[in-house]
Amino acid sequence: MSGRFIGYVFMKSILFLFSHSSGLRLGALLALVAPPLVIASPSGAKASDHETVNLEHVVVTALPLQRSQTDIAAATAVLGGRQLTLRRQGTLGETLSGELGMSSTAFGPGAGRPIIRGLGGDRIRLLENGAGTMDASVVSPDHAVSVEPFLVDRVEIVRGPASLLYGSSAVGGVVNVISHRIEREVPESRVSGTSEFRLGSGANERETGGWVDVALTRTADRALILHLDAFRRTAGDLEIPGFAESEALRAEEAEEAKEAGVAPPEEIAGVIPNTAVEAKGGAAGLSWVSPTLRVGLVRSGFDTFYGIPAGAHAHHGHEEHDEEHEEEEHAEEEHGEEDVRIDLRQRRWDLQGDWSGGKGLITGLRFKWGQADYRHVELEGDEVGTTFRNEAHEFRLEALHAPLAGFEGAWGAQASRSDFTAEGAEAFLPPTVTEQRALFLFEEYKAGAVTAQAGVRVENQRVRNEDTKRKRKDDALSGSVGLIWPWSPENSLALSLSRTERAPNAQELFADGAHVGTQTYEIGDPNLDAETSNGIELSLRRREGFVTGVASVYLNRFNGYIDEVATGEEKDELPVYRFTQSKAEFRGAELEAIFHLHEGRTHRLDLRLAGDLTRAEGRGGAPLPRIPAAKALAGLDWSAGGLAAGASVQRVARQGRVTDQETPTAGYTWIEAYAMYRAAVGTTTLDFFVSGRNLADEEARMHSSFLKDVAPRVGRSWTAGVRLAF
This prediction's pTM? 0.89
In the DSSP assignment, the letter for residue 691 is: E
- The CB density around residue 477, as the number of other CB atoms within 10 Å, is 14
In the DSSP assignment, the letter for residue 573 is: T
Of 410, 411, 367, 419, the C-alpha closest to 392 is 419
Are 277 and 304 in contact by the 8 Å Cβ rule? The answer is yes
**Cα separation, 456 vs 274, whole angstroms:** 47
Please give the angle made by the CA atoms of 329, 252 and 712, to the nearest 5 degrees.
Answer: 90
Are 438 and 415 in contact by the 8 Å Cβ rule? The answer is yes
For 17-55, b/e burial (b = at least 16 CB within 10 A) is beeeeeebebbbbbbbbbbebbeebbebbeebebbbbbb
Strand arrangement of the beta sheet that strand 124-128 belongs to: 75-80, 154-159, 173-178, 124-128, 131-132
Are 182 and 287 in contact by the 8 Å Cβ rule? The answer is yes
How would you class 468 by CB atoms within 10 Å of its CB: exposed for 0-12, middle for 13-18, buried for 19 or more? exposed
Are 456 and 415 in contact by the 8 Å Cβ rule? The answer is no
Of 234, 343, 231, the C-alpha closest to 282 is 231
Please give the angle made by the CA atoms of 716, 722 and 726, to the nearest 5 degrees.
Answer: 155
3-543+553-725, superfamily in CATH? TonB-dependent receptor, beta-barrel domain (2.40.170.20)
- List the beta strands (DSSP E) in 244-361: 269-272, 277-289, 293-307, 340-356
Are 552 and 541 in contact by the 8 Å Cβ rule? The answer is no
**Cα separation, 330 vs 336, whole angstroms:** 10
**Cα separation, 337 vs 318, whole angstroms:** 17
**Angle in degrees, 0-180, between the axes of helices 3-17 and 29-40, rounded to the nearest 10:** 160
**Cα separation, 457 vs 440, whole angstroms:** 4
Decide the pairing of beta strands 277-289 and 124-128: unpaired
Radius of gyration of the chain (CA): 25
Are 396 and 439 in contact by the 8 Å Cβ rule? The answer is no
Distance of alpha carbon 550 from the chain centroid: 23
Q: Is the dihedral of CA 382, 387, 388, 389 positive or negative?
A: positive
In the DSSP assignment, the letter for residue 296 is: E
Please give the angle made by the CA atoms of 659, 664 and 669, to the nearest 5 degrees.
Answer: 140
Helix/strand/coil (H/E/C) assignment for every residue in 83-94: HHHHHCCCCHHH
Are 399 and 441 in contact by the 8 Å Cβ rule? The answer is no
Q: Report which residue type is found at 474.
A: D
- DSSP secondary structure letters along 211-277: EEEEEEEE-SS-EEEEEEEEEEEEE-SEEEEEESS-HHHHHHHHHHHHHHTSPPPPPPEEEESS--E
pLDDT digits (tens, 9 = 90+) for 196-234: 999 999 999 999 999 999 999 999 999 999 999 999 999
pLDDT digits (tens, 9 = 90+) for 457-511: 999 999 999 999 999 999 999 999 999 999 999 999 999 999 999 999 999 999 9
Q: Could you tell me the residue ranges of all domains in the chain? A: 3-543+553-725
Which stretches in the chain have pLDDT values below 70?
A: 1-55, 311-337
**Cβ-Cβ contacts under 8 Å for 571 (sequence gap 6 or more):** 514, 521
Helix/strand/coil (H/E/C) assignment for every residue in 370-422: EEEEEEEEEEECCEEEEEEEEEEEEEEEEEEEEEECCEEEEEEEEEEEEEEEE
For 699, list phi and psi in degrees, rounded to 5. -75, 120
For 299, list phi and psi in degrees, rounded to 5. -110, 125
**Cα separation, 133 vs 284, whole angstroms:** 18
How would you class 221 by CB atoms within 10 Å of its CB: exposed for 0-12, middle for 13-18, buried for 19 or more? exposed
Decide the pairing of beta strands 643-652 and 668-681: antiparallel
Distance of alpha carbon 318 from the chain centroid: 36
How would you class 327 by CB atoms within 10 Å of its CB: exposed for 0-12, middle for 13-18, buried for 19 or more? exposed
Alpha helices by DSSP H, listed for 214-358, are 247-260, 323-335
Residue 210, CB-side half-sphere exposure with 13 Å CA sphere: 24
**Cβ-Cβ contacts under 8 Å for 663 (sequence gap 6 or more):** 246, 248, 249, 709
Query: Strand, helix or coil at 565?
Result: strand
Residues forming beta bridges with residue 398, ordered by sequence position: 366, 412
Are 278 and 285 in contact by the 8 Å Cβ rule? The answer is no
pLDDT number for residue 336 = 43
- The CB density around residue 71, as the number of other CB atoms within 10 Å, is 22
**Cβ-Cβ contacts under 8 Å for 297 (sequence gap 6 or more):** 285, 286, 287, 349, 350, 351
Put residue 173 in one of left, alpha, beta given phi > 0 → left and psi -120 to 50 → alpha: left
